[in-house]
Amino acid sequence: MTVAVVSSGMYSMGHAVVGHRLASYLRFSKVPVTLFSDQSDILAGSGTCLDALPLTRIEEFCLRHQSRDNILFFDSIPLRRSDLLFSLVKASRATRATRVTGHTGWLPKINDSLVGCWRELLDFVGIKTIVVYHGTDVCNGKCHISNLAKTLGVRVVHSGLLFPLLSGTKERRSRSLVLSMGGGAVAEPIVQLANRIAHSGRWEVTLFVGPYAAFRGSLCEKIRWHRFGPQFLDHLRTAEASIARSGYGTCVDHIATKTPVLFMPMKNEDNPEQKCNASWASRFTHKRVVVRGSNVRILPSANVTLPVGFNWSSVWCQL
């Protein structure tokens, strides 16, 4: 049996993390994987970029998976990139392989029109199963996708969280604080907070910004800032505390590294995803951060149990 992972457009750093990590877990599980994406930096030299691939090549790719025992895994595409999905429809329908899509479970925007469109797309491509990247211990079967399963006409399989694959332990640096803002489209509140804390002189502040971040004012010279990259996780593992947005990738990174965190979800009313993430992830953080003015305090959280991690063998048996 072969799994072909077709990865969707990743509009935020969090979804780029998902694309990377899913592929890593599948390779780690020793499952044959063909990874296609429309975002080249997710592939890191290990796959083929869909946007640069002629439709005939995509058809060839799908036709190689004719057996019903094979699985075509569309990572988020039907719920995120309908334009890309239509370019894959002819090719994917030509194969008898089982078609599955994967998703974090929480949606950035939900309305009747979108739900109707998603149902039509899923039905047209023949997708009857959605794998959500968390366990029932996280959502109690009440994440957005689970709630919409009957309406969408799909079955939901819970995989467990896509934690980073960490090795060894790292010593935390005293009074070190990491602030991060995901994609960075709404950067100003985080930047202002970073400036306020840095000016107090009580913390060594490192700021990580996404590809869309733009600073309206000046950044305190005491702040070290970086674009998101592989080094973010190392900084997070050695930080004494963190303040962050609450995309999926950010949440699982903080849970896995046990870094005390204050989640600051985006307040856009059309974006319930981040508020939901902050709610469930806060239950699994070992310590929490509280900010009053420029004063940062770390408080313990009680009765923390690490949620279930990604289990491909369990998912495989249910597909």
209 and 136 share a domain?
no
Alpha helix segments (H runs only) across 94-229: 112-125, 136-139, 144-152, 188-200
Residues 6+ apart with CB under 8 A from 166: 233, 237, 256, 257
pLDDT at 6: 64
Do the domain assignments include residue 170?
no
> pTM, whole model, 2 decimals?
0.85
CATH of the domain at 92: 3.40.50
Residues 6+ apart with CB under 8 A from 267: none
In the chain, the number of structural domains is 2
pLDDT at 11: 38
Asked if 146 and 156 touch (Cβ cutoff 8 Å), the reply is yes
Q: Which regions of the chain are under pLDDT 50? A: 9-13, 39-52
CA dihedral of residues 19, 142, 147, 7 (deg, nearest 10): 0
Residue 314: which domain range? Answer: 3-164+309-318
Q: Pairing between strand 295-300 and 287-292?
A: antiparallel
15 and 134 share a domain?
yes
144 and 127 share a domain?
yes
191 and 264 share a domain?
yes
**Among candidate residues 316, 189, 165, the one with its CA nearest the CA of residue 264:** 189
pLDDT at 10: 38
Do the domain assignments include residue 110?
yes
27 and 157 share a domain?
yes
119 and 71 share a domain?
yes
Helix orientation angle between 112-125 and 82-93, rounded to the nearest 10 degrees: 20
268 and 314 share a domain?
no
184 and 160 share a domain?
no
Do the domain assignments include residue 68?
yes
pLDDT at 312: 85
Do the domain assignments include residue 171?
no
